[in-house]
Amino acid sequence: MKNDVFITGTSCYFPNKPVSNEDMEDFLGLITGKHSRVKPVILKQNGIKQRYYALTKEQKITHTNAEMAVNSILQLLKNSDISNSEIELLSCATSSPDQMLPSHASMVHGLLKNKPLEIFSASGICLSCLQAFKTAFWGVLSGEKRNAICSTSELTSATLLSKNYDIEYEKCADLGVQPYMALEKDFLRFMLSDGASAVLLQNNPGNGKALHVEWVEMTSYANELPTCMYMGAERKENGELKSWKSFNNLERTEQSLFVVKQDVKLLGAHAVPYWAKHIKYCLEKHNVAPESISYVLPHVSSMFFYDKIINELKGIGIGIDESKWFTNLSRVGNIASAAIFAILDEFWKTHELKSGEKILLLVPESGRFSYGTVLLSVV
């Protein structure tokens, strides 16, 4: 028998103090001893005013990814009606685990030190949050679990340090002319941030605030589109990836294989149209009229895309008024898989919601272009 599934709590955790735009390179370091030429352009485009780093100015890591995840989980449990020892499923997502093996969820569970329980780790990039969330959702929906925690966290700053970049980082084209054409390596240094978020799912709404999970949908377009964002590989002329396993140690260093890269031309051509295509599919599949949506919470990497997706949806006949949209990107930065539930946490705590209102969560991923959508209703 299927259960109803409710989000009964949300939380987020950010390490240290917020870092302003002016202070970013004090933490990340200067590549070849010079201030980045793309930084002012990228920051103007993305609209981010501050972010958080689990770093000191000496480039020492202050928090592991797993530690940030645990901090957000413990914060979540403080305001819930279940204890650490009552968690039945721990479903974790990250694109930046502290190690390749064992799984991120194993390390988070190890720090929680509660009891033996079922764990799940979702890998990938931004959409891993909804992959982990759907596993938690299914666990409760099926009746197998009474509750589940979905934890999302990112420690990307350690990969953005100047010491990780080679002198070829400045192969920039048409800087400042075409907003997408910044730099496949350097521009991401001014986009990504650290942090963690978590949500509690239960088979009842409890006595406090609750959101009913109506449905969760995800679509991959990897069958149609090549890789856009990658790490630990180089892209070959045919668009496929050559794994780090095929390079020797010197080549891995010289070619900055473990620096995240993004094909900005592909991003510009496909990210928004395919995102709108996915959203339209979801709404039509579940017979949801756009005008019935009360709020839209999108994860966007840049405010440049914020207006783009709103206008793209209007162009295909499913426009949702801009007054209904909410993001905290400018205040917390782009925390990838941890973003959507950090947005939900801030939104829920700063808005008076009414029973029956519908909230749409939107998550795009440019890795090889995949997208996710969740519909929630206020209990």
Domains observed in the chain: 6-212 (3.40.47.10)
Q: Residue 65: which residues within 8 A CB-CB, separation 6 or more?
A: 94, 96, 97, 98, 104, 107, 153, 154, 155, 196
126, 220 contact by CB (below 8 A) = no
The whole-angstrom separation of Cα 38 and Cα 167 is 15
262, 293 contact by CB (below 8 A) = no
Q: Residue 175: which residues within 8 A CB-CB, separation 6 or more?
A: 37, 38, 41, 181, 182, 183
Residue 171: the pLDDT is 42
pLDDT by residue for the chain (379 residues), tens digit each? 688 999 999 999 999 999 999 999 999 998 878 888 889 989 999 999 999 999 999 999 999 999 999 999 999 999 899 999 999 999 999 999 999 999 999 999 999 999 999 999 998 999 999 999 999 999 999 999 999 999 999 999 999 998 887 544 444 434 444 443 345 667 889 999 999 999 999 999 998 999 999 999 999 999 999 999 999 999 998 889 999 999 998 888 878 889 899 998 999 999 999 999 999 999 999 999 999 999 999 999 999 999 999 999 999 999 999 999 999 999 999 999 999 999 999 999 999 999 999 999 999 999 999 999 999 999 9
Tokens of 368: 């090889």
Q: Rg of the chain over CA atoms, in angstroms?
A: 20
Tokens of 365: 């991923």
95, 336 contact by CB (below 8 A) = yes
Of 206, 85, 95, which is closest to residue 149 (Cα–Cα)? Answer: 85
- 10 Å CB burial of residue 265 (0-12, 13-18, 19+) is middle
